[in-house]
Amino acid sequence: MLDVPISPLRLPTYENYRIFESLMNLCIECGNNEALYRTCVKNYFRNRNTVEALEMLDKASKGGHTTARYAFGLISIFLGGESRRDGIQTIGEMKVRNNKEK
């Protein structure tokens, strides 16, 4: 999965883009947290779809994807309001867990 480019813009044709999207959707349906994380990053930064991106990040982080959990925390903090509190709590929990592992 790490060899699959995160951006379909690197793919030369529309057909390759469709294949890439189909592959990512299939991986998400099968519970692949890396595919979920990559799709969410694309949705957030390219499409500005904050709600869907946060839902996907939350799902990937609950599936054990550490980077997704961290990104969920940071994005939530920057959104402000109630999301900010959730983000601070998420980052705090990660810090506590990290300290326990040392």
Total structural domains within the chain: 1
0.75 surpassed by pTM: no
Q: What's the whole-number mean pLDDT along residues 21-48?
A: 89
Question: What's the domain range around 14?
Answer: 8-101
**Residue 2 placed within a domain:** no
**Residue 89 placed within a domain:** yes
**Residue 1 placed within a domain:** no
pLDDT at 101 over 80: no
**Residue 60 placed within a domain:** yes
- The pLDDT mean for the chain works out to 85
Q: What's the whole-number mean pLDDT along residues 23-50?
A: 88
Task: Please tell me the predicted confidence (pLDDT) of residue 15.
Answer: 80
**Residue 40 placed within a domain:** yes
**Residue 64 placed within a domain:** yes
C-alpha to C-alpha distances, 63 to 15, 30, 44, nearest whole angstrom: 31, 12, 19
Task: Decide if 33 contacts 63 (C-beta within 8 A).
Answer: yes
Task: Please tell me the predicted confidence (pLDDT) of residue 5.
Answer: 59
pLDDT in tens, 52-93: 888 888 899 999 999 999 999 999 999 899 889 999 999 999
pLDDT exceeding 70 applies to what percent of the chain? Answer: 87
Per the model's pLDDT, the better-predicted residue between 13 and 20 turns out to be 20
**Residue 3 placed within a domain:** no
Q: What's the whole-number mean pLDDT along residues 28-47?
A: 89
Task: Decide if 40 contacts 60 (C-beta within 8 A).
Answer: yes
Taking phi over 0 as left and psi of -120 to 50 as alpha, with beta for the rest, 3 belongs to alpha
